[in-house]
Structure 1
Amino acid sequence: MLAFYKIIHFKLLIVVCFVLLQHAVVAQQRPIFSQYMFNGLVLNPAYAGNQPQLSISLLHRDQWVNVDGAPKTSSLIAHSALKDRPIGLGLLVSRDKIGVHDDYSIYGSYAYKLNIGVGTLSLGLQAGFNYMVSDFTKLSTFNPDDPLFYGSVSRFSPNFGTGAFFNNRNTYAGISVPYLINNKVYDKEDVISEAREARYYFVTGGHVFQLSPAVKIKPSALIRVQEGQPIGMDINTNVFLQDVLNIGASYRSNDSVILLFELLLNKNMSIGYAYDHTLSRIRQYTDGTHEFMLTYRKALGKGPCHAYF
């Protein structure tokens, strides 16, 4: 009876995800992180509970230092597997500040996992909302009566998304469309705008190679497809030393070169840092981007808390 329940449950998730992926809607642009390979929930709801542990991360990203009004993002990323059940739950809470705009978001994730012999296949759903507040009184404008830039406005934007994630001991791959609804970019009385947020598709993958008992290396990649824009790609390499120190480097196409590290402080705690060296024309105005991460992990059973992805 339990096996029958699992099959029906999984098939229902497949149908729902397929319908969502086929639905002709457009999702909004989201912050880009450099340490996403260890916080996969920011890209894919199916990542929730990918390891038998509770994981809570605090992440802050200060983009394009020295550029006035540049993005600053703070996030809480939490997810866990349910003990003895093929289910993962996740929570993503974020504040993204860009210029006079403050964008607050809360999203919950649900993933159902199925053992397919060679690994685990998860299908995930997420739902939540963004609440954006734009205070145009902070701007200095040539025309104080310009209807585009006066007063303060707010906008509530619900959204939902889906994804699939496969992993085993050494390999992972995923595909996701985490935000599907094409909410308006600008919504203000007496102003007409047809601008819509663009949908993102994410494809990720990586493999861990053990070079020696003390050294492991993990090449990985992320393909980022945004409707109406060129395809973007991240190519990453991480080296794990004694399962205590992780040193990595990434190339983000036409954007930046990234150096990062993660240090395991004890059984449960780790800290991480990433520096993005900007390659685009904006590099002459900025000292790059800094990203800080603090993570707590607690195993739900036997085995280490540290995960390679």
Structure 2
Amino acid sequence: MKIYAYIIALGSLFGTCFAQQDYQLTHYMFDNLSFNPGYAGMNNNICGTMITREQWTGFSGNPSTKLLNVHSPIEMLRGGLGFSYINDQLGFESNNIARLSYSYHMGLGAGKLGIGLSAGILQKSFNATWITPEQGSSYVHGDDNSIPLDNASGISPDINLGVFYKTEELYLGISTTHLGGFSMNSLNVQNVHHYWITAGYKYIVNPDFTLRPNLLIKSDAASTIMDLNVNVLYRNMAWGGLTYRIGDEIAPMVGYQHSFSDGSTLRIGYAYGITTSVIGDYSSGSHDIMLNYCFSLAKPPTLEKSKNPRFL
């Protein structure tokens, strides 16, 4: 426990820190909007997604992320609009992000390209009740100016750019978050510019099984995280798969989806992360839960009934 507490304390110190800030999720293939505004409205339905992640459970102050996305195509705007809210907590640090996204859509080859921009605010706060070093340390609270004596918070603009390309079989996204690296002078903190790459492919093995490999690369130019995922969809209803976050985590995942007669779709997924780094010796794993619902405002065509005069 003391080792973990020490790791969290070091990772959370915010002086003039430029450590990787953006959250990580196992269900990233269901959550492109929160890091790529080019995805807004790309699936031609009104969609809402909620994801919650508890990382390294069993410890006080463990990383915890909650996310909400809503987006829709808007024909009169020749694209789509979206809204994202993210709450990300680690130790005594808390981040709240709210963004509005717009994506301009155009046909390209066999698919559709979305070019997007999102803008919003990022609110960061620090709780002065932080984890101190072990007893016997010579440190006295207040000696380090980078550690708050009282609760502190700050707000900055948050701007993101992204492009997203999608066909019936594949998708590819490239985006950047926290564009401009705005500073929060009241906290002596600068937001870190991140780069995201996502890709996936759908291969129909036979009428019952569909193979879906996915890739995520996230970098702040100082460190890079890569997720490799493969899952198998059975009869367009249930799926199972595995995500490997290189050097950090292996996460089996399962899910279920149901298509309703009105054309709407409900998906629910769960992933359990097994930590492969040294933290795994002190953690009981990570839990990632996803809920997604999509529907269309357009009513499905109804069959017209005709009468045969012979049977009148």
Give the alignment's TM-score, normalised by structure 2.
0.80
Shift of residue 185, structure 1, vs aligned partner: 7.0
| Ranges in structure 2 where 5+ consecutive residues have no aligned partner | 1-17, 134-138, 301-312
Q: Decide whether aligned partners of structure 1 residues 260 and 27 sit closer, same or farther in structure 2, where only a CA change above 3 A counts.
A: same
Q: Secondary structure at the match of 1:42?
A: coil
Name the residue aligned to 1:202. Answer: 196
Contact 2:229 2:243 in 1 (8 A): yes
For the pair shown, which has the larger CA radius of gyration, 1 or 2?
2
RMSD: 2.3
Return the alpha-carbon distance in structure 1 between the equivalents of residues 129 and 165 of structure 2: 48
SS in structure 2 of the partner of residue 37 of structure 1: helix
SS of alignment partner, residue 190 of structure 2: coil
Preserved CA contact (<8 Å) 2:155 2:184: no
Given the alignment of the two structures, is residue 286 of structure 1 paired with residue 278 of structure 2, yes or no? no
Aligned length: 272
CA distance in 2 between partners of 1:158 and 1:64 (Å): 30
* Residue of 232, 241, 245 corresponding to 1:248: 241
- Superposition deviation, residue 298 in structure 1: 0.4
Deviation at 1:266, TM superposition (A): 5.1
Partner of 2:10: none
CA positional deviation for 1:144: 4.0
- Cα shift at 1:222: 1.6
**By how many angstroms is 1:83 displaced?**
4.3
**Aligned counterparts of 1:287 and 1:163: Cα–Cα separation in 2:** 35
Residue aligning to 2:152: 153
- Tell me, what secondary structure is at the counterpart of 2:33? helix
Question: Who is 1:22 aligned against?
Answer: none
* Larger displacement relative to structure 2 (137-146 or 256-265): 137-146
Q: CA deviation at 1:259?
A: 1.3
Please give the secondary structure, in 1, of the residue aligned with 2:205.
Answer: strand
Provide, for residues 108-147 of structure 1, a one-character-per-residue CA deviation record: whole Å limited to 9, x for no partner. 1100000123211110001111112212046557524444
- Cα distance in 2 for partners of 1:71, 1:120 equals 36
Question: Among 34, 50, 56, which residue is 2:26 paired with?
Answer: 34
Residue 118 (1) aligns with residue 110 (2): yes
Task: State the partner residue of 1:264.
Answer: 257
Q: Answer with 105-114 or 73-82: which moved more.
A: 73-82
Match of 1:62 in 2: 54
Alignment of 1:223 onto 2:223: no
Mapped to 2, the partners of 1:253 and 1:105 lie a distance apart of 27
Quick one: distance in 2 between partners of 1:95 and 1:174? Answer: 23
Q: Give the drift of 1:302.
A: 7.4
Deviations 1:248-307 (A, max 9, x none): 21111111111112212452322111111111110001011101112211034478xxxx
2:195 maps to a residue whose letter is Y
* Stretch moving more, 269-278 or 292-301: 292-301
Letter in 2 for 1:204: T
Number of the residue aligned with 2:206: 212
Equivalent positions of 1:164-175 (< 5 A) are 164-175=163-174
TM-score normalised by length of structure 1: 0.81
Question: Structure 1 counterpart of 2:172, which letter?
Answer: A
Please name the residue that 1:14 is paired with: none
Alignment of 1:274 onto 2:268: no
Residue 238 of structure 1 and its aligned partner are, at CA, apart by 1.5
Give per-residue Cα distances to partners, 1:224-265, cap 9 Å, x unaligned: 222122x33211112111111121211111111111122124
1:27–1:183 CA distance, 2 compared to 1 (3 A): farther
Deviation for aligned residue 1:27: 11
Aligned letter for 1:216? T
Q: Which letter does structure 2 place at the counterpart of 1:149?
A: P
